[in-house]
Amino acid sequence: MQLIDGKATAEAIKAEIAEEVKSIMAAGGKQPHLAAVLVGHDGGSETYVKNKVIACEKCGFKSTLIRYEDDVTEDELLACVERLNNDNDVDGFIVQLPLPRHIDEQKIIEAIDYRKDVDGFHPINVGRMSIGLPCFISATPLGIVTLLKRYNIETAGKKCVVLGRSNIVGKPMAQLMMQKQYGDATVTVCHSHTADIKKECREADIIIAAIGKPDFVTADMVKEGAVVIDVGTTRVPDATRKSGFRLNGDVKFDEVAPKCSFITPVPGGVGPMTICSLMKNTLQAAKGW
Ligand code: GUN
C-alpha cells in the first residue's frame, strides 16, 4: 500500500507556480491577483479562505479578502461580484460557499464573469469542461486528477466509481475521469438512490468517495489492490483536540488502507490539492487562456 501525500505534492506544485510567477514578473509581467469573498463566520469557510490567502503568499500572488456579515443582501453581493468582474487588477475570484439561505447561490455564481471564475462553477466553464474546451476546472476534481497523474496511477480503461453527485465534486469528477485527456476510465456514479453501492464499489479499480458521510467506505466494499481517493472532510467532535473537532474522511482508513494499492489520507490528501489547483487556475487566469 502506498500513501498518496497530497500535502507534499501540493507544496511542490506551489513552488513550481512561485518560480513561474518570478519569471513572469522578471519579464515585466503583472503579479497574479486572486480575490476571495467570504460571507459570515462559518468555521470551515474561515479556515478554507485563510488557507487560500496563505497559498497565494506561497505562490507569489497578490490576494484580496472581501468580508461581509451574514445579513448582507443579495443585491450587495451581486454589486461586489460586478465590481470584481470589472476590476482589471483582479485576475480571478471566488465567492466562498455555502452562502446564507436568503441568498440565491446559483444567481451569484452566474453573475461571475466566467473568465474570472477560477472555481470553475459557472455553467459556461462546466459546459466547456464537459466537451474538453479550455476552461476553469473545479479545484477538487482537478486536484485529484493531478494527484493520480503525479503518482503515475493508470486510469485508462479502469473501472472508476465516484460516490456522490454534487456539482462541485461528484459530477465534474465523473466527467474528468471519463475524458480522454484526463482519465479515459469507465465511470459509474453512485448516490443515495443507487441500488447496491457495495457491489458497485467492490467491482471498482478506483473509488473516489465524495459523499460527506464519515467512514462510509468499509473494507468489505473495496477490491484488493484498488486505488481509494477520499474527498470527505466532515468535522466531527473530538474532545482530545484543542480545536474540539477533527476532520473525518468518507473512508474507514485503518481497515481499508491495507487492501489498497494507493490511498489518500484525511487530512493531508485531497484537501491541500484543492487549494493548489485553485492557485493553478488563478495563474491560468492571469496568463489568459
Ligand atoms: N465551499 C466548499 N468548497 C468550496 C470551493 O472549492 N470553492 C468555494 N467557493 N466554496 C467552497
CB-CB contact of 232 with 248 (8 Å): yes
Is the shortest distance between the CB of 277 and ligand 1 below 6 Å?
Answer: no
- 289 within some domain: no
Instruction: Based on the fold, state whether residues 144 and 266 are members of the same structural domain.
Output: yes
CA 97 to ligand 1 centroid distance, Å: 5
- 23 within some domain: no
Instruction: Based on the fold, state whether residues 143 and 63 are members of the same structural domain.
Output: no
DSSP 209: E
Rg (CA), the chain: 19
119 included as an active-site residue: yes
What confidence tier does 164 reach under pLDDT thresholds 50, 70, 90? Answer: very high
Instruction: Based on the fold, state whether residues 73 and 179 are members of the same structural domain.
Output: no
Is the shortest distance between the CB of 96 and ligand 1 below 6 Å?
Answer: yes
Q: What is the Cα–Cα distance from 271 to 264, expressed in whole angstroms? A: 10
Copy the grid coordinates of residue 63: 490576494
Instruction: Based on the fold, state whether residues 91 and 155 are members of the same structural domain.
Output: no
pLDDT at 239: 95
Which structural domain range is residue 102 located in? 28-113
pLDDT at 166: 97
Residue 138 marked ligand-binding? no
Mean pLDDT calculated for residue range 156-168 = 98
96 included as an active-site residue: yes
Domain end marker among 113, 128, 158: 113
Using one digit for the tens of pLDDT, what is the confidence trace for 193-209? Answer: 999 999 999 999 999 99
Catalytic member of 91, 119, 205, 230: 119
CA 96 to ligand 1 centroid distance, Å: 5
Catalytic member of 14, 96, 158, 252: 96
Is the shortest distance between the CB of 228 and ligand 1 below 6 Å?
Answer: no
Q: Crossing angle of helices 43-59/270-287, nearest 10°?
A: 50
- 8 within some domain: no
Q: How many domains does the chain have?
A: 2
Is the shortest distance between the CB of 187 and ligand 1 below 6 Å?
Answer: no
- 279 within some domain: no
Residue 165 marked ligand-binding? yes
What confidence tier does 184 reach under pLDDT thresholds 50, 70, 90? Answer: very high
Domain end marker among 113, 148, 181: 113
Using one digit for the tens of pLDDT, what is the confidence trace for 110-141? Answer: 999 999 999 999 999 999 999 999 999 999 99
What confidence tier does 289 reach under pLDDT thresholds 50, 70, 90? Answer: confident
175 included as an active-site residue: no
CATH number at residue 179: 3.40.50.720
Residue 166 marked ligand-binding? yes
Average pLDDT, the chain: 97
CA 221 to ligand 1 centroid distance, Å: 29
Task: Give percent above pLDDT 90 in the chain.
Answer: 100
Give the per-residue SS3 of 122-136: CHHHHHHHHCCCCCC
Using one digit for the tens of pLDDT, what is the confidence trace for 216-264? Answer: 999 999 999 999 999 999 999 999 999 999 999 999 999 999 999 999 9
CATH number at residue 74: 3.40.50.10860
Q: What is the Cα–Cα distance from 258 to 106, expressed in whole angstroms? A: 41
pLDDT at 114: 98
CA 125 to ligand 1 centroid distance, Å: 15
Residue 233 marked ligand-binding? yes
Instruction: Based on the fold, state whether residues 152 and 245 are members of the same structural domain.
Output: yes
- 132 within some domain: no
- 283 within some domain: no
CB-CB contact of 138 with 280 (8 Å): no
